[in-house]
């Protein structure tokens, strides 16, 4: 479904990715692992077209995303949950959802579906997004991305700074999306949160991917993790 082939990316003069490849299929959770600054967030941003890809190719269902105007990429069906949530803080919950719905011209049924997934948001529709609690903000960021009815969901550290009960809720939603056939790319620091739900993991080091392994292999061989991540 989503194929990233050997992409090279630079922030201005500073090159940050030197050839990252990954591919994810419908109903699969792919994890990006790596130390801080290894290039995980950069990889997701590059898929969204927010950073210029100088070499390599990104395709979604055979459609070339590389070089496409950034605002057209989400319309192909890529839902993005950025690091730090990046809600529109002064817009209400309802308006944040509306922005998500407008991306792929989804209607009231999608809105209902999303609000049924997160009943807490339904109670807070008129509230400014910036005044929500951390967990509610993460729910809203997830809901906003799901409003696209995306083919691929990119999640950047969705459990960062959340309490355990909230982490569990987010994890349940990710599993549900997997069972509904979404392709999911997940960046996560908390290995315990990942190992339980990931199908495969791509390990990125210094802007290159150095290894791809099944989650089962990852679990049975913790030495590898120690080697790559220092944990």
Binding-site ranges for another protein (CB under 8 A):
48-50, 69-75, 80, 82, 86-91, 95, 98-100, 102-104, 144, 148
Question: CB of residue 168 vs another protein: minimum separation in angstroms?
Answer: 26
Nearer to another protein, 72 or 216 (CB): 72
Nearer to another protein, 128 or 212 (CB): 128
Q: What share of the chain is helix, strand, coil (3-state, %, to 5)?
A: 40, 30, 30
Question: CB of residue 229 vs another protein: minimum separation in angstroms?
Answer: 27
Nearer to another protein, 33 or 78 (CB): 78
Contact by Cβ (8 Å): 144, 87: yes
Question: CB of residue 199 vs another protein: minimum separation in angstroms?
Answer: 25
How far is residue 224's CA from residue 50's CA, in Å, rounded to a whole number? 32
What is the DSSP code string of 155-218? Answer: EESTTTT--HHHHHHHHHHHHHHHHTT-EEEEE-S-HHHHHTT-SEEEEEETTEEEEEEEHHHH
Among candidate residues 203, 193, 197, 178, the one with its CA nearest the CA of residue 28:
178
How far is residue 217's CA from residue 200's CA, in Å, rounded to a whole number? 9
Nearer to another protein, 152 or 215 (CB): 152
Question: CB of residue 131 vs another protein: minimum separation in angstroms?
Answer: 14
How far is residue 214's CA from residue 103's CA, in Å, rounded to a whole number? 34
Nearer to another protein, 13 or 69 (CB): 69
Question: CB of residue 126 vs another protein: minimum separation in angstroms?
Answer: 13
Nearer to another protein, 39 or 74 (CB): 74
How far is residue 112's CA from residue 37's CA, in Å, rounded to a whole number? 38
Question: CB of residue 157 vs another protein: minimum separation in angstroms?
Answer: 15
């Amino acid at each position: 479904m989503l194929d990233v082939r050997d992409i090279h990316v630079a922030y201005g003069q500073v090159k940050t990715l030197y050839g990252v490849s990954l591919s994810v299929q419908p109903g699969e959770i792919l994890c990006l692992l790596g130390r801080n600054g290894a290039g995980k967030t950069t990889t997701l941003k590059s898929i969204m077209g927010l950073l210029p890809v100088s070499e390599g190719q990104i395709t979604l269902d055979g459609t070339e995303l590389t070089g496409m105007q950034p605002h057209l990429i989400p319309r192909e069906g890529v839902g993005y949950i950025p690091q730090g949530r990046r809600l529109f803080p002064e817009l209400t919950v309802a308006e944040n959802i509306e922005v998500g719905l407008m991306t792929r011209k989804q209607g009231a049924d999608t809105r209902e579906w999303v609000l049924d997934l997160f009943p807490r948001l339904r109670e807070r529709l008129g509230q400014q997004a910036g005044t929500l609690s951390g967990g509610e903000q993460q729910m809203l960021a997830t809901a906003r991305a799901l409003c696209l009815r995306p083919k691929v969901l990119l999640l950047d550290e969705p459990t960062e700074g959340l309490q355990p009960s909230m982490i569990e809720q987010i994890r349940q939603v990710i599993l549900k999306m997997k069972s509904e056939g979404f392709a999911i790319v997940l960046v996560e620091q908390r290995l315990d949160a990942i190992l339980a739900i990931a199908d495969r993991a791509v390990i990125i080091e210094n802007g290159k991917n150095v290894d791809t392994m099944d989650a089962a292999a990852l679990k049975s061989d913790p030495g590898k993790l120690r080697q790559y991540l220092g944990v």
